Amino acid sequence: MSEHNEQTVREEVRTWLAANWKPDQPLITWRTLLAESGWGMPTWPAQWYGKGYSMALGNAVLEEIQTAGAVGAAQAGVRMLAAATLLEHGSDAHKAKFLKSILTGEHNWCQLFSEPGSGSDLAGLTTRAELKDGKWVINGQKVWTTSAHHAQYGMLLARTDWDVPKHQGISYFILHMDQPGVEVRPLRQMNGHASFNEVFFTDAIVLPEFLVGERNGGWKIALTTLAHERRGADGVRSFARAEAGQGQVFDELREELAHVNEPYKWYPQRAGRVDLILERAKASGRITDPVIRQEIAELLIMARSSEWTARRARKAQVMGRPQGPEGSLGKLAASNVAKKAAHVHTLLAGADAMLKGSDGLMNGLISEILISVPAISIAGGTDEIQRNIISERVLGMPKEPRTDVDRPFRDVPRNPGKR
Amino acid sequence: MEFSFSDEQQVFRDMVRRFLEETSPTKEVRRLMDTEIGYDPAVWQRLSNELGLPGLHIPERFGGQGFGAVELGIVAEEMGRALLCAPFFSSAVLGTFAALNAASEAQREELLPDLAAGKKRITLAVAERSGSWQAADITTAARSAPSGSVLNGEKWFVIDGASADQLIVAAVDEHGIGLYLVDAAADGLNRIPLDTLDPTRKQARVVFSNVSAQRLGGASDATAALDRTVDQATIVLASEMVGGADHLVRSAVDYAQMRMQFGRVVGSFQAIKHKCADLVLEVELAKSAAYYAAEALAEDDPDVPALASLAKAAASAACLRAATDCIQIHGGIGFTWENDTHLYFKRAKASEMMLGDPVYHRERMLKNVGGLA
C-alpha cells in the first residue's frame, strides 16, 4: 500500500462522509447507507458490503469515520463471529440474506455451540439434527449462550451422523430463534448475573437452505468461528461504547447498546480492572507495605507487557508478516493478568474484601471483580485448552494420544444426559 | 512505538545471528570460560572489523555507525542467545555509554574512536561491596591533585575488570559524584579476579590506592550521567536475557520432542506441554517489555527509568524460569556438566542480580509510575 493510495482513500472517505453523515436520521437508515457504500467494513470483499482493502488501509478508513464522529457499523455482541463465518463459508444466498442486517444492527445473533456434556471437547456435542420431510429437526440442549434471549438467529452445531468419528458427523446450521421448538432460559452465574442462557430444542426446525457448507462438514466451519472468537479475546479490544453524540442516530445507538451490551456489563470486572489498581492503592493506605508494593509491580509488569505483546501481534498482522508466538498468547495472558489483579485487589481491600453491594468497596465493584475473575480462565476456551493450543501450534509439540477419534461417535464414552 | 522491527533490522539480526552461530557455539563458550580473560581476542577483532558492533551506537563523527538503542537491543538479544563470551556488555555498553553521557567533546574524540574500532576495551566500575549501582551508595573517593585527580577505594563486581584496558570509575568528589577515567596499568591500581558463579562473564575486584585519574566532563555532579548509563545498560542487559530465554525455550521443546518415556515422547504429555506453554508466554511478554524499553530509549522517552526497571524485572524472571524449566524438562541430563543448560542458567542467575535485583527494580519501577513514591 503506497502512501499516495492511503491519502486518496482517506480523502474519498471524507468526501463521502461529508455528503452522507448526519446525526439526525434513523440509525438503520445511516447504517444501511454505510453498509451499501462498503465504508463500514472496508476489509470485507467489495461484493459483500466492503472494499476489499488490506487491514492497514481498512484501519485508515475506520480512523476517518471515527475522526468525523460518525457511527460505525454494528459490531456489538457475537454478530461479527457470525459475519466472519458466513463470509468464509456461507453461500451467496446466506450472505445476501444475513450480512446486511448484521451490519445495520437489525438482527442479533447467538452462538449455539457449548453443551452441558461438551465444553472443552466441543466436538463431543450431542444435540441432534435429523432430516424429516425435507426439514432439519433439532433436539437437544445448548448452554452458555450469550444473548440468546434477544437474538433472532443462532449459529448452531448439531450432530447429523452418529456412525462416523466425532468430528465428521457435525453440521453447521443457521437457526431461527423465534419458533415454538426453541426455549431460552437464563442461567444464573456465581457472580449473581444471568448473562448467559440455556437453550432447549424440542423438534425445532431448520429449513434445508440454512445448512452452512456441507452436511457433516460443520467442524471446520466451527473452527473459523472459534478462531475469530479467540482473536477477540486478547484483553486489548474494548466492547462497543455508546458515544456521547447528539441526534437521532445517537439516541437509537445508545438504546441499542444498552440492550446488546447488557450481558457484558461485568466483563471489565472479569478482566481484573487493572486500571483501578493505582487509585485503589492510594486510597487504601496499603501502598506503604513493601510486600504489597512488590505484588502491584508484578501485576503492572504483567499487564503492560501483555498489552505490548498483543500490539506486536496486531502489528505483525497489519504488516502481513507470518504470525509469531505472540499471536496465540493473548487469551492466556489476559487470564493470568485477571487472576493476579484479583489477588492484588484483595490485598488492597483487606477485610473489606469480604463485603459486597453498597457495603463493599466502590459500591460493590471490587467484590464483583473478585467473584467474576474465575470466568475468564474458562470462557471461550479454558486456560488448559489454550496451553494445548500454544504448545501444539506455536511450539510444534505433539497432541496427546486420543481414544475418541478413531471410532464411531456412537461408541465413544460420554457424559450421562441431563434429561 | 512501532511494535515491530523493520525489514532492515530483520536482515541485520539475521546477519548477527549467523556470525554468532559460527563464532560462539557452546564448544567455544566452554573453551573461553576456562580462560583468564574469558573471551577470544580474534573473535572480538572480527566482531569489530567485520560488523562494527562495538561502535554500533557511537555517533559517526567518533568513528561509530550511529545506530540507536533498538539495533543495540537486537545485538544484545542475539549475543544472549549465543551466550557469547566477549567484553561487549562491559566495554561497548557500560563503558561506552558512560563516556558518551559524561565526557567532554574533547574527551570523546580521544576515547571513542578506539572503542568504536574495538582497539581498546573499557569498563565501568560503580558497585562496591554491597553490589549497589546507586550513586548514594558510592564511597570510593576522588580528590584533586596537581595533575588531574587521585582515587582511593575499592570496587566490586567490575565486569571484565581484570582484562579491560581502561576503567571509568564512579567516585565521590567535591561536586557530588564524578566519573573518572583510569588507565588499567596505572600505579596503585590492583585488579583481583572474582570467583563467579557465571564463568561466561568475568568480574573483578579493583582496589585503588592513590591512583591518578582524569575526571570526565565539566566541574559538576555526574549523578544524572551515571543514572542514565545504568538505565541504558539495564535495557541492553534485559535484551540479552530475553535472547538467552528464547534459546532456552527452544532447547527445552526440542529435547521434549526427542526424549522417549512410557512409549511416547515426553513432549506429548500435558504436564510438559503446559509447562512449555506457560514458559513461552512469560518469555514473549519479557521480549515485548525489552523491545518496548529499547524503543523508548531510542526515542528518548521520559519514562525510560521506569521502563528499564520494568524490562529488567520481567527479563530476570523469564530468563531464570526458562533456565530452571529447561533443566527440569531435560531431567537428569539437565543437571550434568555435559549438558549446556547450566551455562545459560548461570548467566541468567548472575544477570538477575547484576545492576539491581528484581525486587529492587520492581520497587524502582513503582516509584517512577503513577506517583507511588
Please, what are the domains in chain A? 80-231 (2.40.110.10), 266-379 (1.20.140)
What pLDDT band is residue A236 in, cutting at 50, 70 and 90?
very low
State pLDDT tens for residues B303-357: 999 999 999 999 999 999 999 999 999 999 999 999 999 999 999 999 999 999 9
- B273–A contact, CB cutoff 8 A: yes
Query: Which contacts (CB < 8 Å, 24+ apart) does range A179-184 have?
Result: A179/A204, A179/A205, A181/A138, A181/A205, A184/A145, A184/A148, A184/A149
Mean of the pLDDT values across residues A5-32? 95
Identity (one letter) of the amino acid at A351? Answer: A
**What's the pLDDT score for residue A97?**
97
Q: Which of A364-378, A398-412, B84-98 has the lowest mean pLDDT?
A: A398-412
**Percentage, residues of chain A above pLDDT 90:** 81
Task: Give residue B83's pLDDT band: very low, low, confident or very high (50, 70, 90).
Answer: very high
pLDDT in tens, B38-75: 999 999 999 999 999 999 999 999 999 999 999 999 99
Which pLDDT score, from 0 to 100, does residue B349 have?
A: 98
Answer yes or no: is pLDDT of B269 > 60. Answer: yes
Is residue B256 within 8 Å of residue B248, measured between CB atoms?
no
- What local confidence, expressed as pLDDT, does residue A239 receive? 47
Enumerate domains of chain B plus CATH numbers: 7-116 (1.10.540.10), 122-221 (2.40.110.10), 224-368 (1.20.140.10)
A382-402: average pLDDT:
94
Q: For B309, which residue in chain A has the nearest alpha carbon?
A: A301
Relative orientation angle of helices B26-33 and B341-353, to the nearest 10 degrees: 60
pTM of the full predicted structure? 0.91
Mutation target vs B (from A274, A287, A387; most B CBs, 10 A cutoff): A387
Yes or no: say if B57 and B64 are a contact pair by the CB < 8 Å rule: yes
How far is residue A257's CA from residue A29's CA, in Å, rounded to a whole number? Answer: 17
* pLDDT of A325 above 90: no
pLDDT at position B147 is: 85
Beta strands at B260-261 and A135-142: parallel, antiparallel or unpaired: unpaired
Q: What ipTM, to 2 d.p.? A: 0.95
CB contact burial A234-267 (16+ within 10 A = b; e otherwise): bbbeeebeebeeeeebbebbeebbeebbebbebb
In the predicted structure, residue A237 carries a pLDDT above the cut 70: no
Give the three cell numbers for residue B117.
574500532
How far apart CA A6 and CA B340 sit, in angstroms, is 51
pLDDT for B330: 98
What residues are paired with B171 via a beta bridge? B178
pLDDT of B218-252, one tens digit each? 999 999 999 999 999 999 999 999 999 999 999 99
CB-based contact B54:B205 (threshold 8 Å):
no
Contact assignment for B369 to A300 by CB distance below 8 Å: yes
Is pLDDT above 90 for B94?
A: yes
Task: Say if the Cβ atoms of A301 and B362 lie within 8 Å.
Answer: yes
As given in the structure block, the three cell numbers for residue B296 are 523508548
What mean pLDDT do residues A170-180 have? 98
Which of B268, B289, B313 lies nearest to residue A398, judging by beta carbons?
A: B268
Query: In the predicted model, what is the mean pLDDT of chain A?
Result: 92
Is any Cβ of chain A less than 8 angstroms from the Cβ of B260? Answer: no
Whether B209 has a pLDDT exceeding 70, the answer reads yes
d(CA A78, CA A225): 10
What does the pLDDT look like over B127-141, one tens digit per residue? 999 999 999 999 999
pLDDT tens sequence across A91-131: 999 999 999 999 999 999 999 999 999 989 999 999 999 99
Instruction: Please report the pLDDT score of residue A326 as a whole number.
Output: 77
